Amino acid sequence: MNPSAHIGVTGLAVMGRNLARNLARHGYTVAVHNRTPARTTSLLAEFGHEGTFVAADSAKAMVAALQRPRRLIVMVQAGRPTDDVIAEYAPLLDPGDVVVDGGNAHFADTRRREAALRERGIHFLGTGISGGEEGALNGPSIMPGGSPEAYRLLAPALTDIAGITPDGTPAVAHLGADGAGHFVKMVHNGIEYADMQLIAEAYHLLRHATGWEPARIAEVFRQWNTGRLNSYLVEVTAEVLAHHDADTGLPFVDVIADAAEQKGTGRWTVQTALDLGVPVSGIAEAVFARSLSGHSALRAAGTALPGPAPTILDERDAARLTEQVEQALYASKVISYAQGLHQIQAAGDAYGWNVDLAAVAGVWRAGCIIRAAFLDRVRDAYTAGPGLPSLLADPGFAHEVGDAQLPWRLVVSRATRDGVPVPAFAAALAHYDTLRTPRLPAALTQAQRDYFGAHTYRRTDRPGSYHIRWDTDRTEEAAL
């Protein structure tokens, strides 16, 4: 086969197919391959007019179709299927060729694969791609991690197909070595979980306290989307709440089973945060909320538990609550992003990635699910202060969140009084209060640990580690 293709895509499910179409639309000759040949045939039959495709019926034919250095994008299921595809292609590739994993791989797998291919002289680019099937076709947010050389070889194509931010910048940036790109995508998804849970809690409280129908609450979200909460998820929420089921005429949200599913990236975010010792309580509560929603037997067992009687606000108080919920939602959203960005920062330090958080915020401004207007300011905050220990250390965000604290507290207390669960709102507020508290009860925790386990403690008045022999009340300096 004449090597005429600029780039190849193997794995033609929805994301792979649309990514191949995106590349073809931008003038690239794209070699395409799928384990099931019917998908290749279908792609060419339906969309062959969009650009130039080269059908490959095997891995060997795919490699033969690609110009050197070969650039191959793998779009298959994460885990074992990705390993199998790499194992099939690696012996056919030459040093200097590039393999891109565009799936939702665990960053630890990406690090392992990058190291193994590097020994063969093959570049590996673990690349997070966000935006769903629409983003893959029309411009996703792209988060590559790998060697600078690997990125250099793919940068023109990735830049061409990426989403375009409001200032005209493509939503793609090299984020660091080996697993950095997939780590950033993982945390993106964790923030997405938190953002969605916060929005759901805002809706739930408003409906419970005001008695408004979903369509009316949709108008609230539409209004919020014209201000500082402007974001893809708030926009989507308004559309969903305004929609009515065609079969029953009921609000669409009322005919959907209230058990949320998940694919695992949110869990990975929390598990990895625990490994790093990084607090992501807002994200964790969002993951647990989804988990609890699906435990039908557990929920059924709780239906007999007592709670407060519902109360409905009049129009004036409902309007006041709506303003308070907007404040609480914005402040909690900032906390979620702050926690996620801190986790990326900690991972960058642990794995030597040196991730530019301004670049991360910049990439998230278009194409991805968590794109939001305020990310411009997040990018600016980290551009001005690359060493910020937290987004809340930025004076602008600190001022806004501080201004929101009273209505935020009123929202959480109102929900608690009415028995409406708001775990993500409450966790975000607790995080804020923990950060601003000069002295925490962790001192008591450490004293307890020393009492029952001789784990030692540090003092406020002098350096070193100490242990009390509690039977004699004698303080000893601990051996290092």
> What is the CATH number for 450?
1.20.5.320
Do residues 207 and 129 both lie within one domain? Answer: no
CA distances from 408 to 312, 325, 400, 412 (A): 20, 7, 12, 6
Do residues 91 and 212 both lie within one domain? Answer: no
Domain that holds residue 52: 7-178
Question: What was the pLDDT predicted at 479?
Answer: 58
> What is the CATH number for 168?
3.40.50.720
Is 341 contained in some domain? yes
CB distance 184 to 175 below 8 Å: yes
Is 467 contained in some domain? yes
Is 410 contained in some domain? yes
Question: What was the pLDDT predicted at 261?
Answer: 77
Q: How far apart are CA 405 and CA 81, in angstroms?
A: 47
Query: Which ranges of 105-168 would DSSP assign to H, the alpha helix?
Result: 107-119, 132-138, 148-161
Do residues 205 and 152 both lie within one domain? Answer: no
Q: How far apart are CA 377 and CA 133, in angstroms?
A: 28
Is 303 contained in some domain? yes
Task: Give the CA angle between residues 33, 39, 45 to the nearest 5°.
Answer: 100
Do residues 217 and 95 both lie within one domain? Answer: no
Number of domains in the chain: 3
Do residues 209 and 352 both lie within one domain? Answer: yes
Do residues 121 and 27 both lie within one domain? Answer: yes
Is 2 contained in some domain? no
- Of 128, 159, 178, which marks where a domain is finished? 178
Task: Give the CA angle between residues 86, 262, 296 to the nearest 5°.
Answer: 140
Question: What was the pLDDT predicted at 474?
Answer: 81
For 230-266, letters b (16+ CB in 10 Å) and e give ebbbbbebbebbbeeeeeeeebbbeeeeeebeeeebb
Do residues 165 and 231 both lie within one domain? Answer: no
- Three-state SS at 125: strand
Catalytic residue flag (residue 192) = yes
Do residues 340 and 248 both lie within one domain? Answer: yes
Q: How far apart are CA 8 and CA 89, in angstroms?
A: 12
Do residues 154 and 253 both lie within one domain? Answer: no
> What is the CATH number for 227?
1.10.1040.10
Cβ-in-10-Å burial (0-12, 13-18, 19+) of 70 comes to buried
The reported pTM is 0.94
Mean pLDDT by 10 residues, the chain (480 residues): 87 96 97 95 96 96 96 94 96 97 95 97 96 93 95 96 95 97 97 97 97 98 98 97 96 91 86 97 95 90 90 95 98 98 97 96 96 96 94 97 97 96 98 96 93 92 91 74
Do residues 160 and 255 both lie within one domain? Answer: no
CA 289 to chain centre: 16
- Of 178, 209, 225, which marks where a domain is finished? 178
Q: How far apart are CA 235 and CA 222, in angstroms?
A: 7
Is 1 contained in some domain? no
CB distance 275 to 267 below 8 Å: no
**C-alpha dihedral sign at 358, 363, 365, 370:** negative
Do residues 286 and 314 both lie within one domain? Answer: yes
Catalytic residue flag (residue 263) = no
| Catalytic one of 133, 134, 192, 477 | 192
Q: How far apart are CA 350 and CA 30, in angstroms?
A: 38
Do residues 333 and 428 both lie within one domain? Answer: yes
Question: What was the pLDDT predicted at 480?
Answer: 46
CA distances from 15 to 53, 81, 350 (A): 16, 15, 31
CB distance 359 to 195 below 8 Å: no
- Of 122, 147, 178, which marks where a domain is finished? 178
Is 71 contained in some domain? yes
Question: What was the pLDDT predicted at 473?
Answer: 78
| Catalytic one of 114, 185, 285, 400 | 185
Q: How far apart are CA 10 and CA 73, in angstroms?
A: 6
